[in-house]
Amino acid sequence: MGSLKNRHLLGLEGVPRDDIQTLIDTAFTFREVLDRPIKKVPTLQGKTIVNLFFEASTRTRISFELAQKRLSADTVNFSASTSSLRKGESFKDTAQNIEAMKIDGIVMRHPVPGAPVHLTKFV
């Protein structure tokens, strides 16, 4: 997947077909991990992923968090309902504060279309 030039994966538009196939093939190799007694691999060991959820979601949040943990990532779950956004902190300030913490990746769920693209302006 060396040809992925952007820092942000916001969709599949513009991603070369070979890269998409590599993503799919890689995902299938991880399926066999589910059959192991210990369902964990060191792929993301030492990496920190923040899950930014601006709307309630049980299945999606748990699915991403479980996948991250099975890949040995450290995960931090952000919920807008319990964040400084409720006290008036701006989306930009929240994004920049998270960026300052030197995290390695962000998974975002937001009810407003285009919010992930907007986030990339600050991280």
Structure tokens at 80: 């807008």
Per the CB < 8 A criterion, the answer to whether 106 and 96 are in contact is: no
Mean pLDDT (the chain) is: 88
Quickly state the pLDDT bin for 66 (edges 50, 70, 90).
very high
* pLDDT tens digits for range 14-52: 888 998 898 899 889 898 999 999 999 999 999 999 999
Between 84 and 109, the higher pLDDT residue:
109
- The domains of the chain, with CATH numbers, are 1-39 (no CATH), 41-119 (3.40.50.1370)
Q: Residue 79 half-sphere exposure, CB side, CA atoms within 13 Å?
A: 6
Burial class (CB in 10 A: 0-12, 13-18, 19+), 52: buried
